[in-house]
Amino acid sequence: MNSSFVNPSSIMSQPQPPAIQSLDLAEIEAALIARGQPKYRAQQVARWIYEKRALSFEAMTDLPAALRADLAQAFTFARLENLRVLGSRDTTQKFLFRLPDAALIESVLIPASPALYGEASDRRTICISSQVGCAYGCKFCASGLDGWSRNLSAGEIVGQFMEVERQSGERINNIVFMGMGEPLANFNNLMRAIEILNAPWGVGLGARHITISTSGLAPQIKMLAEQPKQLRLAISLHGATDAVREKIMPVNRKYPLAVLIEACEYFTARKKQRLTFEYILIEGVNDEPAHAADLARLVRLVRLVGAKVNCIPYNVVEGLEWKRPSEARQDAFMAVLENARVPATIRREKGHDIAAACGQLRRQTMAPA
Ligand code: SAH
Ligand code: SF4
């Protein structure tokens, strides 16, 4: 066994205090008021964590020493342990983190892409994981291959952002929840993390720069529609008929397309905001021109506010037999969408060579040697 592997049960038998990074401002305030401190100290603590990027309570030098010691007793100051950074030829970087219970997760930093967003783009995107593993078992995806083990806490979700910024020295200005796991199956922690990422007292990133991707959990899509923030939503569609979608996405049996589309319409109508359908092109499964025609019909069903399609040529996953279609087949598929006047783009993937592209993040149980 790898020497850096820690037995999770030895850690879990000693429950840790909550992480300060999982608290919102009101909760930090409550913790300070309970210690006889003035309310404004909460802003001070938040500023140390999210603005000055302190790495311990000890570093918060304008707090009384006794309070710092007290906080260090009551809360952990969570840090993700970075085990490895892999760099891709296209400058995408993949970060492997170990959590306190020895679970391993990955985050991906995707630099600005002039080809995609124009020469002036300074977009730097982080792709964040929301769970350890995934319970949804889509047939084409590496993340679900070894099942689900747990939800990430809000602090662990925010921690990926903080640690990747620290390690890379980059300011990240765009977040996509397209890493390992189904974000909407971890709804409460996801919302708490987004509050911290979005709030002026926290990371301060605009809601429009945060995209949640879901395999189609219809009830949670409606719950998201009730949130006041203008978060962006991407739906992993991948099949435009129940027959095709069911073959590759077991979740379609629980929420068939009619139910999913109804939830999408609800979301767009309520938020007055377009959503994106993600559509992986897999050879011989969903990439025929007839499938494109089905897709065009489906997208029109949410025309009230509108939806656009983002096609992604399949990324190979070791151990799975699915294939990426030839460029000629991809072009033929896109031409059908274009003729039907469906707003659609095709994303030539990044980070393929380091298994950092969509669907290539796999649950790992062993730290690298
Ligand atoms: N669970 C969520 C978010 C994580 S997956 C979801 O499914 O939406 C992020 C995106 O990668 C999804 O659109 C997913 O369907 C896609 N994906 C999974 N495996 C892929 C692969 N091998 N090639 C390309 N995209 C893939
Ligand atoms: Fe889970 Fe999304 Fe992968 Fe499906 S595509 S197994 S929902 S991470």
Topology agreement, domain 24-74 and domain 81-366: no
Query: In sequence order, what DSSP letters do the residues of 284-301 get, joined into one string?
Result: TTT-SHHHHHHHHHHHHT
Other C-beta atoms within 10 Å of 77: how many? 18
Q: Choose the catalytic residue: 29, 106, 182, 278.
A: 106
Return the CATH architecture of domain 24-74. Orthogonal Bundle (1.10)
User: Measured from the CB, is residue 248 less than 6 Å from ligand 2?
Assistant: no
Question: What pLDDT, on the 0 to 100 scale, is given for residue 301?
Answer: 84
Ligand 1 centre from 175 Cα, in Å? 15
Instruction: Judge contact between 108 and 95, C-beta under 8 A.
Output: yes
User: Measured from the CB, is residue 106 less than 6 Å from ligand 1?
Assistant: no
Percent of the chain with pLDDT over 70: 89
User: Measured from the CB, is residue 182 less than 6 Å from ligand 1?
Assistant: yes
Ligand 2 atom showing the smallest separation from residue 137 Cα: 6
In terms of Cβ atoms closer than 10 Å to its own Cβ (0-12, 13-18, 19+), residue 239 is buried
User: Measured from the CB, is residue 131 less than 6 Å from ligand 2?
Assistant: no
Is domain 81-366 in CATH 3.20.20.70, yes or no?
yes
Catalytic residue check, 106: yes
Report the alpha-carbon distance of residue 145 to residue 319 in Å, rounded. Answer: 10
Six-digit token string for 216: 């189609």
Q: What are the pLDDT digits (tens) for 277-313?
A: 999 999 999 999 999 999 999 998 886 677 999 999 9
Ligand 2 centre from 283 Cα, in Å? 19
Q: What are the pLDDT digits (tens) for 255-277?
A: 999 999 999 999 999 999 999 99
Question: What pLDDT, on the 0 to 100 scale, is given for residue 302?
Answer: 80
Question: What pLDDT, on the 0 to 100 scale, is given for residue 312?
Answer: 94
Mutate to test the pocket of ligand 2, among 129, 149, 182 (most ligand atoms within 8 A of CB): 182
Ligand 1 atom showing the smallest separation from residue 236 Cα: 13
Question: What pLDDT, on the 0 to 100 scale, is given for residue 114?
Answer: 53
- Taking the CA atoms of 212, 216, 220 and 226 in sequence, report the sign of the dihedral they define: positive
Q: What are the pLDDT digits (tens) for 3-34?
A: 333 344 444 445 778 999 999 999 999 999 99
Would you kindly state where each structural domain of the chain is located, as residue ranges?
24-74, 81-366
